[in-house]
Structure 1
Amino acid sequence: MRRVVGFAAVALLAGCTSQETGGSAPSTTAPEGLVVEVVASGLAHPWDVGFLPDGRMLVPQRPGRIALVEGGRVTDVEADLGDVAARGEGGLMSLVVHPDFDTSKRFTTCFNTERDVRLVTWVLDGTRATRVADPLLAGLPSNPSGRHSGCRMALDDDGNLLIGTGDTARGEVPQDRGSLGGKVLRVDLETGEGAPGNPFGDRVYTYGHRNIQGVAVREDGMVFTAEHGPSTDDEVNVLQAGGNYGWDPSRGGTTGGYDEGVPMTDLERFPDAVPAAWSSGQPTEAISDAAFLRGEQWGDLEGVLAVTALKGEKVLLFTITQEGGVHSVSIPPELEGSHGRLRGAEQGPDGALYVTTSNGEDDKVLKVTNR
C-alpha cells in the first residue's frame, strides 16, 4: 500500500458550465453517448457486484440473499444467511470475490447480525455457498436500527482487504481508535488480522469517518472513499495511512448523544485532520459506491472516478489529478434521475461499468458503456 502524503482539491475556473454539482470543484460539460442497459432485474436493494473470472456476477441483496447472474438470468445462491439482521440501512452489504477464485472458489461478504457487523468467507460450489471462515472478522459495531452500520469492501494493490465502516450514529465512535466503527480497516484477506505496515499495529488504517459507502483503488494504489455527510458535505476522501478525517459528533466527549451540527471535517478541533478532496456542500447527494473507469474504451473518460448517489439519483464523474485532487465533476444525463436511487458501482472484466439500483422493488443491475 502506497502512503498518500499530499493532495488538495483543485479549484480550476476553466471549463465551468451551467451543469452545477453544488460541490467544491467546478462542473464540466456532461459526457454524451453513454449507453445504459438492464442486465438483471427483480432484485431487492442489491448492495454490490462481485465478478467471477468467467464473467458471472454475485450480487448481495440487503434483505439477506445472494443472486448469481449469468446472461441476464438471476438464480438464488443457496447459502445459510439466517443470521443476517436486515433493519433500516443494515443487512447483507458488500461482497468481494477473492483474487484466486479460479482455484479457491472463495468470496467474502459483510453483514449485520443481531450483535455486530461481521465478515464471513464462503466457498461457491455451483449455486451453493458454504461458510469456511465464520467469521473472518467479527465485532464491528452495529446499531440496532441499522443506522450507519454499513460496510464497504475493496482489495488494495497488495491484495489486502480494505473495509469502510459506519460510526453507528454514536458520537464517541469515530475518534475512538479502539472501535472498528467510523474507520477504514486494512486486514489480511485470509486471516482477518491487521495487515503488515498498518499505522497503529492493528486493523485500523484511518479514523474519524462518519459513514463510508464507497472504496475505490486507483491503478497507482491511491485509495479514495465516498462518505455520507449529515445535512451538508458528503465527501470524497483520499486515504492517508493513520489519517484522522475529522468527524467528531461527541465534540471531544463534551456532548452527549450525536451532535450532527459539527463540521464533517473539523479542522478547528483537529488542525491535522485530512481535508476532503471534494465535498458536496448543500444539498447532499448521499453518495454511495465508487469505481475508476479503466481502459481505452472509455475514451476521454478513462481514469475518471464514477460515484453513485442514492438521494441524488445520479452518477457523478470526478476528474482526478495525479496528486489526488478533484479537478472537476460532471453528471451524465443518461444516469441522472432515470433509474432512481443508485448504490453499487463496479467495473466488469468486459470493461463496462455496472451499477445497481436501490429502490426496494424490482431493483436492477445496469450495464454502462461508452458509445
Structure 2
Amino acid sequence: MVNHKISEYLKDYLIIGHGLAGAVLSQQLLEKQQQITVLDLPTSNHSSSVAAGLYNPVTGRKMVKTWMADELFPVIEPFYRQLEQHLNSSFLLDIGIYRPFVSFEEQNDWDAKQSDDKYTPFIKSIRKKNLDSVSLHDPFGGIHLNHAGFVKIPQLLRASRAALIQAHVCEEKYFDQSQLKIKSDHITYENIAYRRLIFCNGIEALQTELFGWLPMHPVKGEILKAKMGKKITTILNRGVFILPLDHEHVRIGSNYQNHFDNILPTEKGKEEILQRLNGVLNEPVTIVDSTAGVRPATKDRRPIIGKHPEYEHIYIFNGFGSKGVSLIPYFSKQFMTYLETENGLIHDVNVSRYYKAYNSR
C-alpha cells in the first residue's frame, strides 16, 4: 500500500523510452486517465524509428505460421486503426504480402491449406504462375497473405510524441539512473514521486542495475531505401522484403547481425541484402540510402514483460525484437490487465521466467 502521507502528490507512472512499446503503452495509460511522464531522447539509430514495421503471419524458409498467430493477428489492424483515430494520424498500410513459392511441392502444400481452418484466415489467394505486375523469380507462383502489411513507425512515433508534448507529459532527455531513488512503495526521479516505473527502452534497459541481468542481447539490422522503376502495391517477401514507400521508392531488408563493431550501416550489410534481393527480384533498383538499428532480442525470442523480482513497483515492457508491430498490440493489453490485477500475462513472456538469473547474480 502507498503511504497516505505522500499519495496526494504521487504521479502514476514514469515510462522510460518512447519507441513503439513506450508509445503504445503511454497512449493506453493516458486513455485510462493515468498521470504519466515519458522520458526519452530520440536518436538516429533508435530501433523503432528505423524498423521496417512489417507484420507477417507466415515466416521463415518453411513458411510456417508465426508464434501465436491465431491470437496476435486478428488484433493488429483494429488496434492500429483505433490508434490512428486517437492520434489523428495515418500510419497503417494493410496491403498484404506476396510470398513466391520455391517449388511445385510448396505450391501444392499451400493449395491444400486453403481448405484447412488453421490457415484459411491468413490466405487471400494462391497464384500458380508468375506475378504480372513486377518481374520476380516466382515460376511456381506464390501466396497472397491476409492480416499482413506494415506500420509506418516513424509517423506513429511523431504523432504520439506530439500528443504527449501537448499533454505536457513528455521530457526529451536520457534516463539518469543516479536520479532514481527506490522507496518501499514508490519511486522518485529528479525529486518527483511516482507510484510505478516501467522500462520500455530496448537494449538500454541492460545498462541499468535494475535489469542488467536479463538475457537480452543486441541484434543489428540494416535496411536499404531504393528507387524502383515499377510500382508495387503489396509487400514482396522471400528471404528479403521489398516494401513500397511511394510511387518510386521502396525499402529493402533486412539482415541480422549478432556481432558488430558499430551501429552504422555497412557496405557488407548492403551487399548481403542486395545478394538476397537478386534471388527474388528481376527489376533494376538504385540504392539511395541505408539505415541501421539495434533491436532488443531475447534468448528465447519472446518479449520480456512484468515485475522486477525484488521491487513491486518497477516493471519492464521490452524485448520485442523485429516483431514488435505484431506483438505489442496484443501484449500491451495483457500488460494493462496485469498492472491492474497482477494477472493476465502468459508464462512465455513473463519476466518471472528469468528470475533465477537475478537470484544467481
Q: What's the TM-score bracket when you normalise by the shorter of the two chains?
A: under 0.3
Whichever structure has more strand as a proportion of its residues is 1
Whichever structure has more helix as a proportion of its residues is 2
* Structure number with larger C-alpha Rg: 2
- Structure with the greater relative contact order (CA < 8 A, sep ≥ 6): 1 or 2? 2
Normalised by the length of structure 1, the TM-score is 0.26
